[in-house]
Amino acid sequence: MKESGHKPNTADLESLGIKEAKDIRWNLSPAELVEEALQNQEGFLTNTGALMCDTGKFTGRSPEDRFIVKDAKTEDAVWWGDINIPFDSEKFDNLQHKMAKHLKNQKLYVRDAYAGAHPDYRLNLRIINTQAWHNLFCYNMFMRIPKEELQNHTPAFTIICAPEFEADPATDGTRQKNFAIINFTKGIILIGGTGYAGEMKKGIFSVLNFILPHEKNTLSMHCSANVGKEGDTAIFFGLSGTGKTTLSADANRGLIGDDEHGWTADSVFNFEGGCYAKVVDLTREKEPEIWDAIKFCAIVENTRFYEGTRTVDYTNRSVTQNTRTAYPIYHIENAIEPSIADIPKNIFFLTADAFGVFPPISRLNKSQAMYHFISGYTAKVAGTEVGVTEPITTFSACFGAAFLPLHPTKYAEMFGKKMEKGNVNVWLVNTGWTGGPYGVGSRMKLSYTRAMVTAALNGELNNVEYSQHPILGVEIPASCPNVPSEILNPRNTWDNKEEYDAKATNLASKFVKNFQKYADFANEEIMAGAPLIEETA
């Protein structure tokens, strides 16, 4: 067996059952991994020096094929169901054995890294890949270990990722040939049958979503975060298309991270060492930070070149709408190092409300904040997905239901306690439609949204007059610097006020209906944050 690279003193793959691998390459540099990927014909270099790769059949995660081993550690703690699908521990052991046997006589790329910028909450990782570009992805997305620490690195969690290895559902217990399975007791994630690199990133996020709240009294969050020059931290929650990445990218504020964070008693810290951003229709004008970050060491997934060039055509959707880039956070000029800041002063829930019902900015009390945190609302508009011809509501608990091993109310109660203790302002920002629903009204101007976020951050909305929305219950400011007052109350922007009231009542009833699945677990304080309509509506 041949080995090269930087191998820790205590490193051992045989304990995982991986024996007689043909060639093991430990902790290669980005330049070496790019060379390997090109030699392996895994991708192409773009004109900016980024590596372009395809993920194969799967261009996104496969939630129905993500499992958690059900055993003594998880049986009574995990929120079992469609999101957290139980997997038999014996089946896991058999599948791991089959994967290890498959890796015999193969070239492997091993990366040692960690997740969590805060040293007290750091999760040591080891990732074993059969593809060089996947190992580069892990270099970009996880935190990089200084060379002087590498020799004594011992992983708490190991990922074994082999896209070409497929399970046999009949004997292995999987749903299909592809799978991503987390074993909390063994500290192992098995990924096979899919080349989508995001499965590794979100696998570790799911692990932290279990360990931190359940064992370390720390809230894990699916959010972006930045910090001002005075040390004031802001957190941005939001589902895809709501502006989470755009609004947290602010030249006047330092970037803590764009996707995954922890909230301790006295800090907010990034879980990751990089960013994994969507690039469909990317332009330098719209997203200058992301555009400039796509250089050597960065990866672009499932994109295509302009014909006859090595220039990426970001408008090309021929492979998928979900084209992405992965780059280390140090490619962002104003990223802070280390990625840790004080507890937040302001929290923003972002929604692209395609019904034109929610105010462009509103203030939430503690009950409403917990209720909307669990709801995790936005709306999909026509054209975003096959079959979507008119706006439809989308709810994702805690703005990241797919990655929550515990019941959503566990996170919400922790969120409420931290919010109250830190005296945090919580704002709901509608980056969607005003003056009517999608197709009638217009999209909220980004300049107005930025002005409202800035006003909230600067404390300029603390002492203005507020009125309560009669249906949603949230508080609407009467004025905001650099924003026309007439757009602040959404009802005023509709030509037909009765039609607005009907649409608002209908949307509020969808919130209530969605929340029914959590109601048995939610306390009275959370339920008090519901819209001001009868539960039978």
The rounded distance, in Å, linking the Cα atoms of 491 and 376 is 23
User: Could you confirm whether 259 is annotated as catalytic?
Assistant: yes
The rounded distance, in Å, linking the Cα atoms of 177 and 192 is 8
61, 111, 345, 380: the catalytic one is 61
CB neighbours of 536 closer than 8 A, spacing ≥ 6?
A: none
118, 324, 345, 380: the catalytic one is 324
User: How many CA atoms lie within 13 Å of 202's alpha carbon, on the beta-carbon side?
Assistant: 21
202, 407, 410, 418: the catalytic one is 202
- The terminus-to-terminus CA distance of the chain in angstroms comes to 67
User: Could you confirm whether 278 is annotated as catalytic?
Assistant: no
* C-alpha distance from residue 32 to each of 35, 52, 53, 136, 201 (Å): 5, 16, 16, 9, 22
The rounded distance, in Å, linking the Cα atoms of 96 and 101 is 9
User: Could you confirm whether 315 is annotated as catalytic?
Assistant: no
Q: With b meaning 16 or more CB within 10 Å and e meaning fewer, what string describes 189-203?
A: bbbbbbbbbbbbbbb
User: Could you confirm whether 407 is annotated as catalytic?
Assistant: no
222, 366, 407, 503: the catalytic one is 222
Please tell me what DSSP assigns to residue 50.
Answer: P
- 443 burial (CB, 10 Å; 0-12 / 13-18 / 19+) is middle
Please, are residues 224 and 272 in contact by the beta-carbon 8 Å criterion? Answer: no
| Sign (positive or negative) of CA dihedral 526, 531, 534, 537 | negative
Question: What does the CA dihedral 406, 263, 522, 467 come to, rounded to 10 degrees?
Answer: -150
User: Could you confirm whether 445 is annotated as catalytic?
Assistant: no
Residue appearing with tokens 């896209």: 163
Please, are residues 234 and 340 in contact by the beta-carbon 8 Å criterion? Answer: no
74, 130, 242, 245: the catalytic one is 245
48, 240, 320, 505: the catalytic one is 240
Q: What is the Cα Rg of the chain in Å?
A: 23
Which residues share a beta bridge with 236? 224, 348
User: Could you confirm whether 240 is annotated as catalytic?
Assistant: yes
User: Could you confirm whether 134 is annotated as catalytic?
Assistant: no
Which pair of structure tokens corresponds to residue 118? 């805060």
Please tell me what DSSP assigns to residue 161.
Answer: E
User: Could you confirm whether 25 is annotated as catalytic?
Assistant: no
7, 111, 186, 244: the catalytic one is 244
112, 250, 258, 259: the catalytic one is 259
Which sequence positions are flagged as catalytic? 61, 202, 222, 240, 244-245, 259, 324
